[in-house]
Amino acid sequence: DASMQIKLKRLESQRNALYEQLGRLTYRQLKTGESQAEKIAATIEGIDDVRTKHRAQAELIEKTKRERAEKKAAFEAEAEDRE
C-alpha cells in the first residue's frame, strides 16, 4: 500500500534529521567544550523512538505483502479448481 510506504519514508526522514541533529550537538560539544548532554540524550531518545516505529511499519508492510500473496495464491488455486 502506497500510504504505508509513504509513512515509512517519512519515518526514515525523521530518523535522518535526528542523526544530523545528534552530529551537530556532538560537534558543538567537542568544539566548544560546553556540555550538550541533555540535548544529546533527548535526541538519542527520539532516534530510538523513530527506529522502533520504523521497524514496526516495515514489519506491517511485509505482513501485508505476505497476506496479499497468500490471498492471490488461494484465488488462483480456486480458479484452477473451477476449470
Q: What is the pLDDT of residue 4?
A: 95
Cut 0.85: pTM above it = no
Amino acid of residue 31: K
Alpha carbons 34 and 18: distance in angstroms, whole number: 20
Q: What is the pLDDT of residue 83?
A: 74
Q: What is the pLDDT of residue 74?
A: 93
Q: What is the pLDDT of residue 7?
A: 96
Ranges of residues in the chain with a pLDDT under 50 are none
Q: What is the pLDDT of residue 78?
A: 87
